[in-house]
Amino acid sequence: MTSPLLSVENITVSFDGFNALDGISLQLMPTSIRVLIGPNGAGKSTLLDAIIGHVRPSSGRVVFKGRDITHMEEYRIVRDGICRKFQAPGVLESLTVMDNLNLAARRRRECWRSFSRGVAGGTYEQAERVLKLIDLAGKRNLPAGQLSHGEKQWLEIGMVVASDAELLLLDEPAAGMSHGESEQTAALIRELSSQHSFLVIDHDMAFVDQLDAPVSVMHMGRMLKEGTLKEIRNDPQIAAIYLGRDKEASVA
């Protein structure tokens, strides 16, 4: 049986005596997608912070590829194969689409070194492969700042993929997108999940449905329920807490 790529084991994160995470556990298998949903303040972003090393748990541990990374420095966790994408696109707008991907594909991330050296063949091939995956080959020489909002999101996802990350943490990747862009983003994530794993936070149930992945519901720093989106929607406790209405209204 395949071992989990990521195991979050009874993680507690406290801020001034308040438990933002209260004994959270989660497993993610290689080449899979898991979606996190829950009301604002449920602890979803804090969980990603704990995984990437941005905050330190007061108890519990995070295991990645069989290795305890709970107290590892954030930059080392990124080098080890976990990357996080925030809601707002973080592309370098003055650089071209291709330059953004080439920079992300470099093994060494020291900025001045990256700009002072030519692009190695392997790096260029990796960037070229990702360029086609995100459907931006026709805009390779366009400054990233001229892309649409959705295209910037795809470029940043591509940059994370180009870095060879095995686990991608995505915070509302479809926020601000049109319906068509949202569908294309879900299709991109599903395609990339053949080689990468994704932990996705989102509130848009139509987008979550398009991902066709297991869903974990968080509430007040705890894991409330895990299952398919259909099971989540039909759960009266979820309807009352997360959707803010009773089951009958939710179904209607």
Q: What is the pLDDT along the chain (252 residues), one digit of tens a residue?
A: 579 999 999 999 999 889 999 999 999 999 999 999 988 889 999 999 999 999 999 999 999 999 999 999 999 999 899 998 876 667 889 999 999 998 887 754 444 344 444 444 456 787 888 898 898 999 999 999 999 988 998 998 888 888 888 999 999 988 888 889 899 999 999 999 999 999 999 988 899 999 999 999 999 999 999 999 999 988 888 877 765 544 433 333
- pTM attached to this predicted model: 0.85
218 inside domain:
yes
149 inside domain:
no
139 inside domain:
no
137 inside domain:
no
Alpha helices by DSSP H, the chain: 44-52, 74-80, 97-105, 111-116, 121-133, 149-162, 179-192, 205-211, 229-233, 236-241, 247-251
Angle (nearest 5°) at CA 27 between 6 and 197: 55
101 inside domain:
no
Alpha helices by DSSP H, 53-92: 74-80
3-class SS at 199? strand
86 inside domain:
yes
147 inside domain:
no
Domain total in the chain:
1
Q: Which domain holds residue 207?
A: 6-91+166-251
| CATH number of the CATH domain containing 80 | 3.40.50.300
28 inside domain:
yes
